[in-house]
Structure 1
Amino acid sequence: MDTIADFLTRIRNACFAKHKLLKVSFSKEKKEIINVLLKNGYILDYKIEKNIIKIALKYYKNNSVIYKIIRISKPGLRKYCKYKKLPRVLNGLGIAIITTSNGVITDKEARKKRIGGEILCYVF
């Protein structure tokens, strides 16, 4: 089972249903993805209690800030990219979340650090 795809689907469904709070099970990779979303302004805040992550979703004028969140690299087909060929999501308006040797970062940070990695998802 793909836990990251399940996690992204939960975020997508909660945004569509206009929930203010989302609860997901804890994992280090999910926590790092949430940190990236928080740094880039896609969620308000998060809190870890026991083995549950509570995420406060962000809305603007009754619409979710996260318009789409798309899983790119899947367990059956991994997508890796060098830093020179990293994708630009909506011509720079969105972000691509990438796992690298330096942790989970955005495509913009990966270009600055000149490192590539596995493309997890697009957020816009």
Structure 2
Amino acid sequence: MLSDPIADMLTRIRNATRTHKETVDVPASNFKEQLANLLVAEGYVAGVERTRLDGQPADVLRLTLKYGAKREQVIKHIERISRPGRRAYVSAENLPRIQRGMGVAVVSTSKGLLPDREARKLGVGGEVICVLW
């Protein structure tokens, strides 16, 4: 059993992009699906599909990774911030600006999972799940 399934998902994405894989499979959950859809909306992942592999009891999320014209990584850095042992909550005023606005901090708010720009615009804070650029 994993103690931090979100960190596992981020690690799978990080490892897959570094080895230039086309897709990566992640055990599915509703939260992970929301996170994956946010990564698609922000342009870091090409697509996400919830499916069940043959002979597997649980669903998986199949993320189609995105690369540049010369196969350079779109996701240069991805890091878990709030962990089970150390939660990181911030107010709307203290939301981090990642790479001077070129990166994204994923924030879990009362309005759902939001990128830092949108959370700042709505004036809501929350738990900083991860950052990426």
* TM-score bracket relative to the smaller structure: over 0.9
Q: What does residue 78 of structure 1 align with?
A: 87
Structure whose residues are more often strand by fraction: 1
- Report the Cα distance in structure 2 between the residues aligned to 1:40 and 1:112, rounded to whole angstroms: 16
Q: TM-score, normalised by structure 1?
A: 0.98
Larger radius of gyration between Structure 1 and Structure 2: 2
- Report the Cα distance in structure 2 between the residues aligned to 1:80 and 1:40, rounded to whole angstroms: 22
- Structure 1 unaligned blocks of 5 or more: none
Deviations 1:42-77 (A, max 9, x none): 011111113111110000021110000011001001
Instruction: Pick the aligned partner of 2:64 from 56, 64, 75.
Output: 56
Any runs of at least 4 consecutive aligned residues in structure 1 with deviations exceeding 6 A, and if so which? none
Q: What does residue 110 of structure 2 align with?
A: 101
Q: TM-score, normalised by structure 2?
A: 0.91
Structure 1 window deviating more from structure 2 (70-79 vs 46-55): it is 46-55
Amino acid of the structure 2 residue aligned with 1:66 = I
Q: What RMSD over aligned residues (CA atoms) do the two structures have, in Å?
A: 0.6
- Structure 2 unaligned blocks of 5 or more: 53-58
- Report the Cα distance in structure 1 between the residues aligned to 2:14 and 2:40, rounded to whole angstroms: 16
Instruction: Pick the aligned partner of 1:42 from 41, 44, 50.
Output: 44
Instruction: Pick the aligned partner of 2:75 from 60, 66, 81.
Output: 66
